[in-house]
Structure formats: C-alpha cells, structure tokens
Amino acid sequence: SQKIEQNSEALNIQEGKTATLTCNYTNYSPAYLQWYRQDPGRGPVFLLLIRENEKEKRKERLKVTFDTTLKQSLFHITASQPADSATYLCALLYNFNKFYFGSGTKLNVKP
Amino acid sequence: NAGVTQTPKFRILKIGQSMTLQCTQDMNHNYMYWYRQDPGMGLKLIYYSVGAGITDKGEVPNGYNVSRSTTEDFPLRLELAAPSQTSVYFCASSSAPSGTHGEQFFGPGTRLTVL
C-alpha cells in the first residue's frame, strides 16, 4: 500500500509569515494530489488539487507544488493569519478511485 | 443544499453489537466513500462506490459492509462490533475523482465508541 508522510509535529509560525507544509509519498506517483483543511471535530474541507503533470497551483493565499522526482508536494500559505490554524491533510488518488490520506500537520499561527 | 449528512453523530456500542451508519448526499454525486479516522491519524478508506449498485473495498474493509441502492444513500454496516472499530467515521462524495474537480465533500462524521 502507499505510504504518505506528513510532519507529525505541529508547525508554529507568527502571523504574517509563510507557512510551508510537506507531503512525501513512496512508490509510484498518484494521478493527482489534494490538500484539505480539517478543524477539530469537523470533516475535512477541500482546498486545492494538483495533477501529476502540473508543477504548481495557486488559489488566493494558497500555493501547492508537486515534484514527482522528489515524490513530494509542498503546501504554502502566505501572509498567514490566526484563522489559518488547523490541521492540513494531503490526499493522493491511485487507481482512479482510491484515496490515501496522510496523517496531517497541525498549523498554529500566533498573533 | 444540505451537502453530505451523517447520522448518528455519536454512538456507543457494546462488543458484538451491530449498527448501521447512515450517509446521504443531495449533490447527485456518483462517487461516495467511507473513511475512518483514529486519533492523530489520517483517514483510511473503508469502502467506496462509483454509482448505485457498485461498491468496492478500500484499504481497511474488514468488519464492515456497504450497499448502494440509490445515488443518494451509502450506508455502512458494522457487524459484531469490536473495540478496534472505535473511531470517527466520515462519509464523503465526489462528482468525479479524476475529473476536473475531483474534490471530496465530507459529512460531519460519526463518533463511535465500542466498549
């Protein structure tokens, strides 16, 4: 099965800085990769999707990159705000229908 | 649009009991999924469905069963509950996982404890 690694330690940053989260995977590259936000006691909420033939995607203050050589995706939040504090999950799609999720990285943005 | 709804929100089961977790979506999505999330862990796929009458196993299907008789509903059945099934269960739906959008819409979850 696929192994997906996200930094299990919380990321603590100051408001206004850029937060960078990492998602590493083993074995073969997925068809595409998604990033989700999850708040305590709630279901994940979709943020961004990037395909294996795309290098970078942006949406407002969010940016995701996908390097199939390094088997890694980076998720950036620029000008971070305390409201961005949450757990961020990456999800990889394999075999057209099956999603594998990482364990998530908790982001704490301090005012 | 209610999106994806799940019932119940909470449930405590005794070992060996059975129950059905309900999931309904009103977005006319063909794809539906059941995940479980253990504390501090990511989501693991239990079962998924690509349309009414079609289901398939995910990563951790043992101890569970599903059915998909309509586009809207995708119930998850637990037979002979075990403490290892204590978890938060999320249902999700998607219009097309490898299509233009592919985003999954998640329900609020069901927190299940087996004692």
pLDDT digits (tens, 9 = 90+) for A36-67: 999 999 999 999 999 888 889 999 999 999 99
Q: In 3-state terms, what secondary structure has residue B46?
A: strand
The residue behind tokens 């099934």 is B85
B90 touches chain A (CB under 8 A): yes
- In the predicted model, is pLDDT for residue A15 greater than 60? yes
- Block means of pLDDT (10 residues each) for chain B, 115 residues, are 93 96 96 93 92 93 96 96 96 79 89 96
- Residue in A closest to B88 by C-alpha: A41
* Interface contact flag, A49 B41, Cβ < 8 Å: no
- The DSSP bridge pattern shows strands A45-51 and A98-101 to be unpaired
pLDDT attached to residue A45: 96
- The DSSP bridge pattern shows strands B64-66 and B76-78 to be antiparallel
What are the C-alpha distances in Å from B89 to residues A16, A60, A90, B76?
Answer: 35, 31, 18, 10
Closest CA to A72 of A60, A61, A64, A84: A64
Please compute the mean of the pLDDT values over residues A14-33 and round it to a whole number.
Answer: 90
- Residues 27-86 of chain B whose Cβ lies under 8 A from any Cβ of chain A: 31, 33, 35, 40-45, 48, 50, 56, 58-59
CB A78, CB A64: distance < 8 Å: no
pLDDT attached to residue B103: 87
- In the predicted model, is pLDDT for residue A5 greater than 80? yes
CB A32, CB A96: distance < 8 Å: no
- In the predicted model, is pLDDT for residue A22 greater than 90? yes
* Interface contact flag, A102 B41, Cβ < 8 Å: no
Distance CA B11, CA B36 (A): 14
pLDDT attached to residue B100: 57
